[in-house]
Structure 1
Amino acid sequence: MSRNLNTKLQSSISNERSLYLLLFIVFAFLISAPFQMMYFNGAGLHSIAQFQFELKSMYGFCIGIVAFLVVSIRLFKTTVIEQRHLVVLVGLLIPLSYYLSSLTAVSKYLATISNLLNFAVYGFLLLGVALSNSRKLLNIMMYGYMLIGSLIALDGFMYIVGNKFRLDALMYNDGVRLGGLFTYPNSYAVFLITMLLAIFHYLTVEKNLILKIGLGLILVPIALSFILTLSRGAIITLPVIALITLLISSLKKQLLLGIYFVPSFLLSLIVQSYFSEIGNEVYVKTDESVKSGQEVETVPLFSVQSMKAWGVLVIVSVIMAILIYLFHKYLAEWLNTKIEKWKIKRLSNLWIPGSIIVIIVIAIMLWNTEFLTQLLPSALSDRLNEITFQTHSVLERLTMYQDALKIWRDYPITGGGGGVWEALYERYQSYPYISSQVHSFPIRVLIETGLVGFVIVIGFILFVLTSYLIRCLKNKDRDENYSIYFLISSAIFVHSLIDFGMNYFYLIAIVFLCLGILVGQQTNKITIKIIRGKTKLITRSIGTIFCIIGVVLLFNIYNFMYADTKFNESERLLSSRPNLNELTTVLADGLKHMPNHPFLLDRMATIYKSAYQQMSNDSFKTEALRYVARLDESEPNFSALSIVKYYNAKEWGSTEETIEILEKAIENQPFQLSYYELIFQERYLLWTQFNEQKDLINRNLQKDRILSLYTQVLERASQLQQLNQAISINRNFEITSNMNDIINHIKGAGN
């Protein structure tokens, strides 16, 4: 008896230690993200600037795969099969659907990164399930999340005040917009929504008054940061999530949420214009420095200007904390007494949500009268006034969605693989925009994984959220403490319907961590006769398979990180004028680990061509062409490939070859005007050659093709003229003076 008790005790201690290890992994994730641009998955094929995101993403993926491995090892100790285990196995279909799409992917490079991302995300789902039944560790995790999030928010104010500079931490669109460490205001805004949800939740459930005051101190900076993002998508998301929050909350919690929400946002609105003006001044100065190539000067932290701004922030924060203290000191008991009387009344918990809906409807009706806009800061009211279907950003997004559906029609069942939008959007675009993100998570899933993956990924997310919501509405008391995980994941997911926030590994990992915590509540035991007595064998087998997958994935991440290191080393060498052998050895070492890495192949080809141009050694020319061929075979949609192949053909090939390359380039990038100019020149050279040779048949053939190209450019330019005027076109597409000169010349030559 005592031996069994001792064994159970040791097992319990071992289990608790492994849970703390999982908690450590969560904190490693939360702490490292701010130093890695919040893990933005921005790797692509268009620009060397996109390369910077690859290594940063790998750090995040590595943490997710480590979580995947640790939880897999825990499976060896599982002796019962519960409903949550089956849901988790269904969740495994998410990374598997991405793996399936990668087999025929448009870009093997981007699809491989996408595979790593989705297995890492799955690791966070497992992490959430493993932590779900430890209320103590979940509370520690959430307080840690709020603490780190508060530091991120305070860091954001350093960009507003001018104490720090980071490119795109401040942006300008109808006023200065705060992007913070995300360097993208919309994604920063949805992160701040999750912070607000967490703070409001713990203010309602926390018993310790000191902790409540601490939460009150950071509430206004978070709310103010949210307003300073000027994110229309987040502004739309907030009331939706607020209504859901109220519907799943008790009457007491609803009243408390209102008591905390109203003063925090009123105080934020009072000082918003002040911080917006400071931000405007800082943005103008830094933007001028960046454009002129000068070093950006920051404002000393303890300067008068800086201390005044921080003083205002401290004052409003302290006022909010005092209000919370006074409420709990003098009014909380009275409110509890009143609530007990109101609770007995039918549908009392619907009073506040119903009132909110009425207020929203009235506000919308009054909006055109400008009665409400006069009460708001001008920058905020201007952004709110633009929330219409005729706003340029809405029209541009709708156009991108239509273009994305064109891609999906070509890859309907299993999709075009991870990164298909980044690789192909220029081929399918309706006008010459630049956007490496499709701005909608569901549409991104659809084009990357097809109908199969869309049903699996979106279906899984909706199943977990709706099943929790049903359980919560049936029994509020049991699930209210877990509602924060439902709300955080819902907020990010709802916002992702119209933006690319879930392309930040930080945000998508948080979604699946929360989903895992919700799934972990489904602890009903499942008894299947056919596997009775084989539970341990099954769980150990699954654990073993998962461990093998995890090790393989970590090895792939290591290869990426090693190749990245070698590429960055080549960057440093290039700045110090190295010898050719030293430089190519470094890059070749990286290619041993990632043989088809497009940026390494492109750089190797460029270096050998440069060496040939300097020394006229034919072996260098051969190597340059070999690496271009490898790049063409592995990543034919690499953006710089067409121009590289063109100049190689121009130097070492024929005019016909250069034309063929340019025609293919136009097919892939139909709004890239420079390709039309080049092909005009090449065909004009042929026309001139045949004209001098008196070869009228071939001369007229070239003339017809030049005129056909001219008509094509005119038609595309006319197509752009028919677009809604609200849509911003950031690349010119029109007949150039050089094209007109060529047309006039060949027409003037007669027949």
Structure 2
Amino acid sequence: MSNPVYGKKASASRNGEKLSVAAWLLKIGIVFLMIWAPFQAGLFNGLILQFEKPIYWSVIIGSFLLLIWLAAYYKNIKLDDQRSWTAAFVLLVPITYLLSLLSAASHYFAMNMVLIQCLYAILFIIGLYLLQNKQGNRFVEITTITAAYIIVMFGLLNWLGQGRTVSALVGWFSSTVYNGVYNQAVWIDANGPRLASVFQYPNTYAAFLMAFFFVAVFAITRSRKWYEQAIHGFMLVPMALSILLTLSRGGLVFLPVVFIVLLLFLKPAKQVLWILYCLIAGIGTLLIAKPVTELGQQFHQGLIHDPAKGWGYVLAASVIVAALAWLIQRFLAPKLEQRLSGLSVRKLSNLWLPIGSIVAVVIIAAVFLGTNAKHLLPGNIGERLENINFQQHSVLERLTFYKDALKVMKDYPVIGAGGGAWAALYEKYQNNPYLSRQAHSFIMQYLVEVGILGFAVFMAFILFIFYKYIKGYIRSSEEQRESHFIYFILVFSLFIHSLMDFNMSYIYIGIIVFLGLAGMAAAMDNEPVKRLALKPSAARGLYSAVAVIASLVLIFTSIRYIQANDEVTRGRELMGTSSDFQEIQAPLDRALQKRAHQPDAVLNMSVLLKAGYEQTQNETFYTASYDLLTNALKKEPFNKNIYNQLIALHQLKGEDEQAYAIYRDNADKYAWDMNWYDQLIYQSYELGYQALGQANIAEKEQYFKTGLNAYQHVVEGVEHLKTLPPGQFQGGEFYITPQMTLSAGKMQFMMNEPEQAAAVLKNGLTGDLHDSTMQEIAVWYLAALQKTGASDQAVYDQLIQINPSEQETITQLAKLQF
């Protein structure tokens, strides 16, 4: 059977038919997204207010493009073969996210992810139809590669000190330019400066670079025009250099893996060319890596600024590699094709070079990791390579994330905990107090968000496309294979790296992946589906109804969310500049009308109402704030900021029992929040002491039991952290504070357990007794010892020397009976 794209009977619409005006509008829309989106911090996943608006605008643009697609391809719409049904099947991806709203840990995050997944589905459908057309396919390829090259050069310009210049060029449309500089285009951490370009995260940038490096190599071998070969060859060194500058160990580890897998899809002549180009680019990069790295480091450390020298190295190496690429394609490539043509038809002939490449990669890795060859690289790059092992912090931490994600899945197995669930839930399930709102694995994060059902749907969709594409690739001619291979490179490269990082949390990466999947589906081995086939009129009617209704709903929803976002921002600004209550309240009210329970709007409005109550003692303000917070918690049951605001509201009115109840009932959600447990233990003591003063022994016991259980939780947590592998950091602070010790010791003392009280208080005597809290711990400790008939003369002498009046206090406490 012939394949509509790969086969011999390719239709005119897929090979030479001119695109309609509507199709051209689609192309323009895709160009805009591919150029505009990455400079909005890669369109990060909407977990933070500042990243929301560009995402909603992307959804609006995508929705309008869907309507344009309907006009452009209305006559081509059908539901009678595997390709057309794949376009329908993709709708199940956002539907699984919509279904997960039923158990969403955060309705706010989950709705954002529903919109994002709808955008992906829209772009897949548009791409599937557009990329079947030869002209449309070529246009999208050029646009995608051009955007990537712009991002690469933007990153290097920031590295070599021209950040303000290039930021001025994108600042008029980018929300990520602050004070004239693109935020975190160069990341600074314990390893020193790391290149991140538009993504603000070096590891994702490394994955992006890896994918487009291989796209560039492929483009050189496919191009027939000398200037195209030269352009792609020119970009090899900047991309390889940028990979090194990210200091991403994951990027360096996955690079050879992806390279070897891609070689399996090439005939021997092309394999030789790929290896040759990678070697040339690698050598050219190594020759300039050290000086360029050091120049960038010196600039970002405020030492010297000499961008011309750095660009001299980069341009010289790039021009030489570009010239070599043209020469190889002009003179060597034809001879390789001729001499290895016989080998190409032999069975398994394309396995030899990949196998040899595996051996070569192992040898190169051993040389760089085990010899002084690593000194050829800049110091921090060599050190990062040297530290690649399974006991390093980043690996151990990721393994911990994955284990914790499985705990979440256990509680939300079928439909998941909704989009953004990891950010909302991780504090409840974490093994140690790390701070990561991302699970650092696309698979694990996807399972957490939509459960087994959603993951099964997504994997069925992905695996079907891969299977059909590879099947069609094997059966097709060389020219037909090359028409859509770029999409396979992009999807495979980005997915592989996403196994151990959160690249797919960047919507721009998601756009590339779903357009890539559309490109693969446009070229896949296609077969009729007779049992599910619909009449063209029925298919068009169904598609039209879904497209129009979905587009209108998405446009309306996104506009309201943008308006809510703007109103929250306006309200925040007024809170810093205005003292007029109603003026500040107005935009926050409008925000909540546009998007009920929007967390930032809720928190800011609550702060305003709380201030109104403080100033006027008007119960209306208190009630409004209380109702706002409690209603928001029904949709955001894991939002710690809302809980803290509600606690502050209770404490303002002296409602200590209600504040205590919030600490107690939600302690399991924040198992490693030291401040939360500090307050819970302290509140338990205070309320228990009040109950004791009222002779309510039962309540005293209840409060004290809660407080002591919380204290024991902290003790066990501190001991657990000691069991972490040596290479793994514990994350945030978590220890027994003096206040915890004092409160726990007092509770044990007042429960007539002086021995236990003395043991607790003794462990807390770690500081100078000139500190008032330490003095109080010492007093209660000595009193507990006196009750048991024991003493600690050293502590006693030190305390009495500092404060002699405490002698009588100790004696009086020791005589008390509870």
TM-score after normalising by structure 1 = 0.90
Q: How far 1:708 moved relative to its partner?
A: 2.8
Q: CA RMSD in A?
A: 2.5
Conserved in 2, the CA contact under 8 Å of 1:73 and 1:543? no
Structure 1: tracts of 5 or more residues without a match: 1-7, 44-49, 287-298
Please name the residue that 1:60 is paired with: 58
Query: SS of the counterpart of 2:578?
Result: coil
Question: What per-residue deviation string (whole Å, max 9, x for no partner) do you get for residues 98-135 of structure 1?
Answer: 11111332221111111111111001111221122222
1:434 is paired with a residue whose SS is coil
- Offset of 1:285 from its aligned partner? 4.0
1:25–1:207 distance in 2 versus 1, CA, 3 Å = same
Find the aligned partners of 1:375 and 1:251 in 2 and give their Cα distance.
31
- Aligned match of 1:155: 154
Q: Does the 8 A contact of 2:471 with 2:525 survive in 1?
A: no
- The change in CA–CA distance for 1:615 and 1:592 in structure 2 (over 3 A counts) is same
The equivalent residue for 1:275 is 292
Q: How much has 1:646 moved relative to structure 2?
A: 1.2
User: Does the CA contact (< 8 Å) of 1:414 and 1:453 recur in 2?
Assistant: yes
Which whole-Å CA distance do the structure 2 matches of 1:232 and 1:409 have between them? 31
2:194 aligned partner: 177
SS in 1 for 2:87: helix
Does the 8 Å contact 2:222/2:482 carry over to 1? Answer: no
Deviation of 1:217 (Å): 2.1
Q: Are 1:254 and 2:271 counterparts?
A: yes
Equivalence for 1:289: none
Instruction: Give the direction of change, closer, same or farther, for the CA distance of 1:622–1:280 in structure 2 (3 Å limit).
Output: same
Q: Which amino acid aligns with 1:280?
A: Q
Structure-to-structure mapping, 1:364-379, within 5 angstroms: 369-370=370-371, 372-379=373-380
Partner residue in 1 for 2:433: 432
Distance 1:486 1:622, change over 3 A: same
Q: How does 1:453-472 map to 2 (within 5 A)?
A: 453-472=454-473
Deviation per CA, 1:483-512: give whole Å up to 9, x if none. Answer: 111111111111111111011111111111
Seen in structure 2, the aligned counterparts of structure 1 residues 128 and 79 have a Cα distance that, compared at 3 Å, is: closer
Contact 1:248 1:476 in 2 (8 A): no
Of the candidates 161, 184, 199, which is equivalent to residue 168 of structure 1?
184
- On the 8 A contact 1:690/1:698 being kept in 2, the answer is yes
CA distance in 1, matches of 2:77, 2:157: 52
Q: Residue 41 of structure 2: which of 12, 37, 40 is its match?
A: 37
| CA displacement at 1:557 relative to structure 2 | 0.8
Distance 2:602 2:423 in 1: 19
Partner Cα distance (2:124, 2:501) in 1: 22
Matches for 1:22-421 after TM superposition, within 5 Å: 22-43=26-47, 50-74=48-72, 76-78=74-76, 80=78, 81-164=80-163, 165-171=181-187, 172-285=189-302, 305-340=306-341, 342-343=343-344, 347-363=348-364, 369-370=370-371, 372-421=373-422
Provide the secondary structure at the position in 2 that maps to 1:103.
Answer: helix
**DSSP 3-state at the match of 2:577:** coil
What SS is found at the alignment partner of 1:216?
helix
Inter-partner Cα distance in structure 1 for 2:77 and 2:573: 54
8 A Cα contact 1:82 1:523, kept in partner: no
What secondary structure sits across from 1:677 in the alignment? helix
What amino acid is the match of 2:741? N
- Matched residue SS, 1:729: coil
One-letter amino acid of the counterpart of residue 99, structure 1: L
Report the Cα distance in structure 2 between the residues aligned to 1:572 and 1:704, rounded to whole angstroms. 45
TM-fit CA distance, 1:718:
0.8
Gaps of 5+ in 2: 1-11, 164-180, 750-783, 785-812
TM superposition shift of 1:38: 1.2
Q: Counterpart in 2 of 1:484?
A: 486
Distance 1:144 1:527 in 2: 34
Q: Report the CA distance shift for 1:601/1:328 in structure 2 as closer, same or farther (over 3 A).
A: same
Distance (whole Å) between structure 1 residues aligned to residue 702 and residue 590 of structure 2: 49
**Residue in 2 aligned with 1:422?**
423
* 1:30 counterpart letter in structure 2: M
- Alpha-carbon distance between aligned partners in 1 of 2:19 and 2:160, rounded to the nearest angstrom: 47
Aligned to 1:606: 607
Q: Distance in 2 between matches of 1:547 and 1:284?
A: 54
Whole-angstrom CA distance in 1 between matches of 2:133 and 2:418: 37
Moved more, 272-281 or 90-99: 272-281
Deviation at 1:588, TM superposition (A): 1.1
State the 1:408 CA deviation: 0.7
**Rounded Cα–Cα distance in structure 1 between residues aligned with 2:585 and 2:216:** 53
Q: How many angstroms does 1:226 deviate by? A: 1.4
Q: Distance in 1 between matches of 2:683 and 2:348?
A: 77
Relative to structure 1, the CA distance from residue 447 to residue 18 in structure 2 (aligned partners, 3 Å threshold; closer, same or farther) is same
Distance 2:569 2:406 in 1: 37
Please tell me the residue identity of whatever aligns with 1:507: I
The offset of 1:455, in angstroms, is 0.6
- Contact kept? 2:62, 2:123, Cα under 8 Å: yes
* Partner SS for 1:640: helix
The verdict on how the C-alpha distance between 1:578 and 1:212 changes in structure 2, with shifts beyond 3 A counting, is farther
Residue 142 of structure 1: how far off its partner (Å)? 1.8
SS, match of residue 194 in structure 2: strand
How big is each residue's C-alpha offset from its partner over 1:162-181, in whole Å with a ceiling of 9 and x where there is no partner?
Answer: 32244432233434321111
Larger Rg: 2
C-alpha distance in structure 2 between counterparts of 1:531 and 1:516, whole Å: 21
Call closer, same or farther: CA 1:182–1:203 in 2, change over 3 Å: same
User: Quick one: distance in 1 between partners of 2:614 and 2:363?
Assistant: 71
Give the fraction of aligned pairs with identical amino acids, expressed as a percent: 29
Name the stretch that deviates more: 496-505 or 236-245: 236-245
The aligned amino acid for 2:38 is P
Match of 2:514 among 507, 512, 515: 512
**How far 1:374 sits from its partner (Å)?**
4.5
Q: Structure 1 counterpart of 2:33, which letter? A: F
Distance 1:635 1:702 in 2: 28
C-alpha contact (below 8 Å) 1:186/1:229 kept by paired residues: yes
Which residue is equivalent to 2:445? Answer: 444
Q: Distance in 2 between matches of 1:328 and 1:531?
A: 47
The answer to which of 701-710 and 541-550 deviates more is: 701-710
Equivalent residue pairs, number: 719
**In 2, are the aligned partners of 1:440 and 1:500 still within 8 Å (CA)?**
yes
Q: Which amino acid aligns with 2:275?
A: G
Alpha-carbon contact 2:290-2:376 (below 8 Å) kept: no
Residue 570 of structure 2: aligned partner: 569
Mark the CA change 1:372 to 1:476 in structure 2 (over 3 Å): closer, same or farther. farther
